Amino acid sequence: MNKKSSALSIAIVGLMFFIFGFVSWVNAILIPYFKISLELTNFQSYLVAFAFYIAYFVMSMPASLLLEKVGFKKGMMFGFWIMALGAALFVPAALTRTYGLFLLGLFSIGTGLAILQTAANPYITIVGPIDRAAQRMSIMGICNKLAGILAPLVFAAVVLKVTDSDLFNALKDGTMSAFDKEIALTSLIRRVILPYSILSGLLLLVGLLVYKSPLPEINTSQANQEETDADHGGRTSILQFPWLILGAFAIFFHVGSQIIAIDTIIGYAQSMGLNLLEAKTFPSYTLGATMTGYLIGIICIPRFISQRNALITVTTLGVILSLAVLLTHGDVVIFGHHTDISIWFLVALGLPNSLIYANIWPLAIKGLGRFTKLGSSLLVMGLCGNALTPLIYGRLADVWNVHNAYVILLPCYLYLVFYAIYGHKITHWRRVKTA
C-alpha cells in the first residue's frame, strides 16, 4: 500500500473511530440519566454498559466470519446499519418507558460496533510498519476520545434543561405526588427520541458512504506474516498462541478499568454533592487526560521509548493511581468543582489508560499470519470487560459504597503489569519459552 493510499485509509478509519467513541462514551451520561428517569439501582443502571459491551463477546467471532465472507468494506456497512437499528429502538423504548427495550437497542449498537472493531483494529495495526502500530492506534484513540469528550456534553445540551436541577431534587426528596412523578419521568425519558432518531439516520448514511469510499481491501494474512515463521509454524489453532490469549485477557482488564474510570465518575461526583448538570463534565476531564496521553504516545513511541517499555510504564502508573483513589482524602476546589481529591486521581487514570490499549494490540496480534482475523476477533471479545466490570462495581457500590467499590481497579492493573513485563513474551503453553 503506497503512502497516499495509506494516509487516506487512516483518515477514513479515523472517522470511524470518532463515531465509535461518540456512541460508546455517551453511555457515561446515559447510566445516571436512566438511573433517574427509570428509577434504577446502581447495579441495574450499569446494565447499560453490560448490554452494550457483552455484544463484543457474543458477536466478535460471527463478525470475523462475516468479514471473511463479504470483505471489510461491505462488513463495515452492515456494522453501521445494525448500529442504526439499535439507535432506532430507542424510540419505542422511550415511548413505552421500557428499560429492556433500551437494553436491546444498546446490544444492537454494540453488535454493529463489534463488527466494525473487528475490521478496524487489525486494519490500522497492519496498514503500516508494526513497530509504529501503537503510534497509529494513538491517533485513532485521539479521534475516539475527542468524540468521547463531546458525547456527554452534546447529549446534556440536547436532553437536559437548566431547570432540571429542581426536578432532580424533587424526585430525590420524594415530594412529588405519584401522578406528577409519573408524568415527569415519562417526559424526561422521551427526550432521547429526537437525538437517537437523528443518530440512526446518520449511521445509515455513514455505512453507505464507507462502502462507496476508496478504502482498499487488505490481505491481513500476508500483511501480518511473522519473519520468524518457522518458529511460529505448525500451529493449527488460535489457542496455540499464548501471547494472543493472554493479550485478550489484558484487553479485558484494560477496558474494564477504563470504563470504570469514565462511566462511574458521574455517580462518584454526585456522591460528593454535585448534581447531574455539574457532574456531567467529569467524563470529559478523564477523556481529556486520555487525549494528552495519546499525544505523548504519538511523539514518543517508538522514537524515545519502545511499545513494551511504554506499556510497563503506564500499567505501573495505573496501579499507583488506583491506590491513590482508594487511600487519599481531602477537600479541594479544581476547575470550580468542590470535591474530594480522590476523584481527580480517578480523572488522572485517563493518562495511562490512553497508551495501554494501543500497546497491547500490536504485541498480541504480532505474527499471527493467517490467524490474524480470528485473533482480532478474540481480542475484540476481550472488550466484554466493559460489560462485566461495571456490574461488579455497581454491586460493590450497593453493598459497600461508591468509593470503596474502586478496589476493583487493583487486580485489573496488576494483571496488566504482568502482561507488559512477561505475558506477551510467552510463545508456548507447556514449556515456557519467551521471545
302 prior amide bond cis, ω within 30: yes
| Residue 344: how many other CB atoms lie within 10 Å | 21
Which residues have CB under 8 Å from 108's CB, separation 6+?
Answer: 55, 82, 83, 85, 86, 89
Whole-prediction pTM value? Answer: 0.76
C-alpha cell at 52: 452494550
What is the per-residue pLDDT for 227?
42
C-beta separation of 269 from 343 below 8 A: yes
Task: For residue 172, give the amino acid letter.
Answer: K
What is the per-residue pLDDT for 407?
97
What is the per-residue pLDDT for 6?
63
Task: For residue 416, give the amino acid letter.
Answer: L
Task: For residue 230, give the amino acid letter.
Answer: A
C-alpha cell at 182: 409519573
* Beta-sheet pairing, 331-334 with 337-340: antiparallel
Task: For residue 387, give the amino acid letter.
Answer: A
Helix (H) or strand (E) holding 334: strand 331-334
Q: Which long-range contacts (CB under 8 A, 24 or more apart) does 90-97 make?
A: 90/192, 90/193, 90/196, 90/197, 91/193, 91/196, 91/197, 94/189, 94/190, 94/191, 94/192, 94/193, 95/190, 95/193, 97/38, 97/185, 97/186, 97/189
Dihedral sign, Cα of residue 45, residue 48, residue 50, residue 51: positive
What is the per-residue pLDDT for 374?
78
What is the per-residue pLDDT for 162?
78
| Residue 429: how many other CB atoms lie within 10 Å | 12
C-beta separation of 58 from 413 below 8 A: no
| Helix, coil or strand: residue 422 | coil
C-alpha cell at 134: 501503537
Bridge partners (DSSP) of residue 333 are: 338
C-alpha cell at 112: 454493529
| Helix, coil or strand: residue 304 | coil
What is the per-residue pLDDT for 48?
93
Report which of 374, 52, 335, 65 is spatially closest to residue 240, judged by C-alpha positions: 374
Distance of alpha carbon 403 from alpha carbon 385, whole angstroms: 20
What is the per-residue pLDDT for 2?
54
Report which of 402, 152, 97, 146 is spatially closest to residue 277, judged by C-alpha positions: 152
The tens-digit pLDDT sequence of the chain (435 residues) is 556 666 777 778 888 888 888 888 888 889 989 999 999 998 999 999 899 989 888 887 888 788 878 877 888 899 999 999 999 999 999 999 999 999 999 999 999 988 887 777 666 766 666 666 666 777 777 787 788 888 888 888 888 887 888 888 888 787 888 888 999 999 999 999 999 999 999 999 999 988 888 776 665 555 555 544 444 556 778 888 899 999 999 999 999 999 999 989 999 999 999 988 899 899 989 988 988 888 888 888 778 888 789 899 999 999 999 999 999 999 999 999 999 999 999 999 999 998 898 788 888 888 787 787 778 778 878 888 988 999 999 999 999 999 999 999 999 999 999 999 999 888 888 755 555
What Cα–Cα distance (Å) separates residue 125 from each residue in 9, 69, 137, 287? 12, 21, 7, 22
Report which of 415, 18, 47, 425 is spatially closest to residue 251, judged by C-alpha positions: 415
What is the per-residue pLDDT for 79?
92
Half-sphere exposure of 209 (CA within 13 A, CB side): 10
Bridge partners (DSSP) of residue 434 are: 426
Helix (H) or strand (E) holding 340: strand 337-340
All domains of the chain in start order, with CATH: 3-425 (1.20.1250.20)
- DSSP states of 302-317 as a string? TTTS-HHHHHHHHHHH
What is the per-residue pLDDT for 220?
54
Distance of alpha carbon 376 from alpha carbon 393, whole angstroms: 28
C-beta separation of 59 from 115 below 8 A: yes
